[in-house]
Amino acid sequence: MRSGVIAQKVGMTRIFTEAGEHVPVTVLRLENLQVLAHRTAEKNGYTAIQVGGGTRKPSRLTKSERGTFAKAEVEPKRKLAEFRVSPENLIEIGAEITADHFVPGQFVDVTGTTQGKGFQGAMKRWNFGGLRATHGVSVTHRSHGSTGQRQDPGKVFKGKKMAGSMGNMRVTTLNLEVADTDKDRGLVLVRGAVPGTKGGWVLVRDAVKRALPKEAPKPGSFRKREGSAAAPSEPTGAAQAEQKP
């Protein structure tokens, strides 16, 4: 199990295949994505890494937040997240994860917050058909109608589809295909739409319902911090290519 990444949704565009077919893609950008801390089974009871992305003014940090970034010796980050990983897939603190952490053709799961629509009626929120246009229906054509039964049970069950707040929910879209990556600009192009607005932050992980491609780098693709000691074992994947002179 590899680490995921924090990315910022830039927007949507399209790319063309060799056959001339256009593919709609969402552009996700990795900005200064670095490893901040490790969570180990001996100390924390589970294995994970904490990563941070984006930039933030030091004056906006609390004292505890400043201590977190000072301990990792990295610049303040705007967004933080933890990803469960296998013990052999831990990435050293301070390393910067790059866009080629994912390979074209693999599938990923993307988690984000959907666009908020405010208070909406049952027709817009749940796709209800509304009431009849005539035969006694007056003024209430777009209402959701009856919500309960008679005296027994005499209540409205929890979870009943009614008017209410729509959107602004944490949603995970499964099995989105990675169309392409751009390591130099830190871009990951994902086929289809992902939840959230332009400029919103999302979490991208390897798909849990699809097999990881053999060419995917392990423990990941990253740049080591300048001046860091060499790894005790031979690195694999893209991390190996980064260390060649």
DSSP string across the chain:
----EEEEEEEEEEEE-TTS-EEEEEEEE--S-EEEEEE-HHHHSS-EEEEEES---GGG--HHHHHHHHHHT----SEEEEEE--GGG---TTPEE-GGGS-TT-EEEEEEEPPP-EEE-HHHHH------SSTT--S-TTS----S-BTTB-SPPTT---SEEES--EEEEEEEEEEEEETTTTEEEEES--SS-TT-EEEEEE-SSSPPPTTS-SS--EEPPTTPPPPSS---HHHHHHH--
Residue 68 tokens, joined: 């977190």
Average pLDDT score over the chain: 88
Q: Judge if 107 and 197 occupy the same domain.
A: yes
CA dist 162 and 148 (Å) reads 11
Instruction: Give pLDDT, residue 135.
Output: 92
Q: What angle do CA 174, 178, 183 make, to 5 degrees?
A: 135
Predicted TM-score (pTM) of the model is: 0.80
Instruction: Give pLDDT, residue 229.
Output: 52
Instruction: Give pLDDT, residue 64.
Output: 86
* Beta bridge pairs of residue 206: 108
CA dist 149 and 222 (Å) reads 59
Instruction: Give pLDDT, residue 230.
Output: 44
Q: Judge if 104 and 26 occupy the same domain.
A: yes
**Antiparallel, parallel or unpaired: β 22-29 and 5-16:** antiparallel
Q: How many domains does one find in the chain?
A: 2
Instruction: Give pLDDT, residue 235.
Output: 43
Instruction: Give pLDDT, residue 65.
Output: 86
Q: Judge if 11 and 97 occupy the same domain.
A: yes
- Which stretches of the chain drop beneath a pLDDT of 50? 230-241, 243-245
Backbone angles phi, psi at 234, to 5 degrees: -65, 125
Instruction: Give pLDDT, residue 245.
Output: 39
Instruction: Give pLDDT, residue 227.
Output: 63
Domain assignment of residue 105, given as a range: 5-115+171-243
Q: Judge if 125 and 9 occupy the same domain.
A: no
Q: Judge if 197 and 81 occupy the same domain.
A: yes
Q: Judge if 34 and 82 occupy the same domain.
A: yes
Q: Judge if 22 and 98 occupy the same domain.
A: yes
Q: Judge if 83 and 192 occupy the same domain.
A: yes
Q: Judge if 85 and 131 occupy the same domain.
A: no
Q: Judge if 108 and 36 occupy the same domain.
A: yes
Instruction: Give pLDDT, residue 70.
Output: 87
CA dist 208 and 173 (Å) reads 11
* Domain boundary, last residue among 143, 166, 189: 166
Q: Judge if 109 and 194 occupy the same domain.
A: yes
